[in-house]
């Protein structure tokens, strides 16, 4: 399974956002010919070219201001600050060059910067719309690069080869990553907006003043992962509150936190998203929860600072949770826990919920039981007729092929014709009837040939 974080970097208007849209198969990035349109980072998930349900996270950084770079190389402006963080956290950097414009002095500056960091970098010349651009493309080899991929993101040419190259580099990263001394421990990422109470929760769980705590958003310094024990099981708390307090970045802190959070989601086994009761779940929080679900990571929503809600009664928490689940929509199965660090209420239940999620995440179900549930689900709700084929989907059997995440392969006759609504129905039935609880469940539908290919890749 491909996992990792990829950052797209380059000068303004070289086609980074168009390439981002192609790789993620979305239109989330705003595309405009005017340089500097992408002021903040966009982030999304890229599905593996093998279409086996795996994928990786990707960040579209803003094009750093060339005038700032020229007069003050890599100046601490808002765009470069976030680009620098994205490069630092990424497993692979995708540097985009403009084949129409040719080599620019600032391309050279960025290449030199990346060389110093010794990052895995893939270089791609974009806007290769015809043979007339070839002479300009050769200018890039003055940079001493071994290989440059050519593509036209606007016309979707060369993007497939580039996507395969990215996955190859991620496989190398995943194959050479050093294992921590606490192998076997469940890794928990605490993510959320600045001043949501992540450090206070961490301190309560660890029983010590491990992180700097303040009312000023963003006062947590460099991260130090902490190993704790709960019910004789080891857990590693990944303190993602740790954004370095650099000068003059208060207005950029939340943007930097997103990059840290993406890195944490990739590294963690279980994600804990901390929100505050008075402010609720922001669009960014919901987006991070969705990204975690896309990576099939279990998520616990912690509503901290519950003490700030006045005039609570027996229905307050239930109504709050219903509103929260409505915002989460398709991922509303995530567990929700109300806490107060100030009053030290229900903090201990965080590890209880994490343990339950970890157990469900590693659960394996016998094939016979799986097929009982499949047969009953299909009997109670028969799939619709496929009009163009004049036939119905026939399900032969289901089997669980892996855990973490629990992955079920369903064998059928015409996998590509199953309606998405029916896929969601079967996934919900598997989760409910097989008691997978509140953990993500991956269900893949395969024909005979597809199933053999999947097993060969597993």
Measured CA to CA in angstroms, residue 79 lies from 64, 75, 255, 334 at distances of 5, 9, 10, 34
Which helix (H) or strand (E) segment holds residue 407: the answer is strand 407-412
Cβ 101 vs Cβ 15: under 8 Å: no
Is 199 known to sit in a ligand binding site? yes
Is 64 known to sit in a ligand binding site? yes
Is 163 known to sit in a ligand binding site? no
Is 111 known to sit in a ligand binding site? no
Is 120 known to sit in a ligand binding site? no
- Two tokens at 311? 């005039």
Measured CA to CA in angstroms, residue 405 lies from 48, 298, 438 at distances of 16, 9, 12
- Distance, CA of 42 to CA of 250 (rounded, Å): 20
Residue 452's CB is within 10 A of a number of other CB atoms, namely 11
Is 119 known to sit in a ligand binding site? no
Start-end of H helices in 55-119: 66-71, 78-89, 105-117
Cβ 254 vs Cβ 193: under 8 Å: yes
Is 299 known to sit in a ligand binding site? no
Is 144 known to sit in a ligand binding site? no
Is 344 known to sit in a ligand binding site? no
Is 150 known to sit in a ligand binding site? no
- Two tokens at 30? 């705003």
- Distance, CA of 233 to CA of 157 (rounded, Å): 50
Is 186 known to sit in a ligand binding site? no
Is 10 known to sit in a ligand binding site? yes
- Distance, CA of 401 to CA of 396 (rounded, Å): 16
Is 15 known to sit in a ligand binding site? yes
Tell how far CA 163 is from the center of its chain. Answer: 17
Q: Is 452 helix (H, G, I), strand (E, B) or coil?
A: helix
Is 107 known to sit in a ligand binding site? no
Is 12 known to sit in a ligand binding site? yes
Is 247 known to sit in a ligand binding site? no
Is 195 known to sit in a ligand binding site? yes
Is 28 known to sit in a ligand binding site? no
The b/e string for 52-66 (b: 16+ C-beta within 10 A; e otherwise) is bbbbbbbbbbbbbbb
Is 13 known to sit in a ligand binding site? yes
Is 373 known to sit in a ligand binding site? no
Q: Euclidean distance between the first and final Cα of the chain, in Å?
A: 8
Is 17 known to sit in a ligand binding site? yes
Is 448 known to sit in a ligand binding site? no
User: Which residue in 62, 168, 64, 86 sits closest to 122, CA to CA?
Assistant: 168
Is 243 known to sit in a ligand binding site? yes
**Interhelix angle for 283-294 vs 253-267, to 10°?**
20
| Strand partners for 359 | none
- Two tokens at 387? 């009009």
Q: Dihedral through CA 127, CA 129, CA 133, CA 137, nearest 10?
A: 40
- Distance, CA of 300 to CA of 271 (rounded, Å): 6
Is 198 known to sit in a ligand binding site? yes
Determine phi and psi for 215, rounding to 5 degrees: -75, -15
Is 215 known to sit in a ligand binding site? no
Is 14 known to sit in a ligand binding site? yes
Is 307 known to sit in a ligand binding site? yes
Is 121 known to sit in a ligand binding site? no
Q: Which segments are annotated as binding site for GTP?
A: 10-17, 60-64, 126-129, 192-199, 239-243, 304-307
Q: Which segments are annotated as binding site?
A: 10-17, 60-64, 126-129, 192-199, 239-243, 304-307
């Amino acid at each position: 399974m491909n996992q990792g974080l990829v950052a797209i970097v380059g000068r303004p208007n070289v086609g980074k956002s168009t390439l981002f849209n192609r790789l993620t198969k979305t239109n989330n990035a705003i595309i405009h010919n005017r340089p500097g349109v992408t002021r903040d980072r966009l982030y999304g998930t890229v599905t593996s070219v093998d279409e086996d349900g795996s994928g990786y996270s990707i960040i579209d950084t803003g094009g750093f201001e060339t005038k700032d770079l020229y007069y003050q190389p890599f100046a601490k402006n808002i765009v470069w600050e976030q680009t620098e963080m994205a490069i630092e956290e990424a497993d692979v950097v995708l540097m985009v060059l403009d084949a129409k414009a040719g080599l620019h002095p600032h391309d050279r500056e960025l290449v030199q910067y990346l060389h110093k960091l010794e990052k895995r970098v893939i270089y791609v010349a974009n806007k290769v719309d015809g043979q007339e651009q070839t002479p300009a493309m050769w200018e890039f080899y003055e940079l001493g690069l071994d290989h440059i991929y050519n593509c036209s993101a606007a016309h979707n040419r060369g993007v497939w080869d580039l996507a395969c190259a990215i996955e190859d580099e991620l496989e190398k990263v995943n194959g050479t990553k050093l294992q921590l001394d606490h192998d076997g421990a469940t890794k928990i990422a605490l993510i959320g907006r600045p001043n949501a109470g992540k450090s206070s929760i961490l301190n309560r769980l660890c029983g010590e003043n491990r992180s700097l705590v303040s009312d000023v958003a963003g006062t947590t310094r460099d991260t130090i992962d902490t190993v704790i024990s709960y019910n004789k099981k080891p857990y590693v708390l990944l303190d993602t509150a740790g954004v370095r307090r650099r000068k003059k970045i208060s207005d950029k802190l939340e943007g930097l936190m997103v990059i840290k959070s993406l890195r944490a989601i990739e590294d963690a086994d279980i994600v804990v998203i901390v929100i505050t009761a008075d402010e609720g779940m922001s669009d960014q929080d919901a987006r991070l929860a969705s990204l975690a679900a896309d990576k099939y990571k279990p998520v616990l929503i912690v509503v901290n600072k519950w003490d700030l809600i006045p005039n609570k009664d027996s229905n307050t928490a239930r109504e709050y949770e219903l509103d929260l689940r409505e915002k989460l929509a398709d991922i509303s199965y995530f567990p929700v826990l109300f806490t107060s660090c100030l009053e030290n209420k229900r903090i201990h239940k965080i590890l209880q919920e994490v343990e339950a999620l970890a157990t469900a995440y590693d659960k394996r179900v016998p094939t016979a039981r799986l097929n009982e549930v499949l047969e009953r689900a299909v009997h109670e709700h028969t799939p619709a007729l496929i009009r163009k084929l004049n036939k119905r989907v026939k399900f032969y059997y289901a089997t669980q092929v892996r855990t973490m995440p629990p992955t079920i392969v369903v064998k059928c006759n015409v996998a590509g014709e199953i309606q998405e609504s029916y896929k969601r129905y079967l996934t919900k039935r598997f989760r409910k009837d097989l008691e997978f609880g509140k953990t993500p469940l991956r269900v893949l539908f395969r024909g005979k040939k597809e199933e053999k290919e999947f097993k060969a890749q597993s």
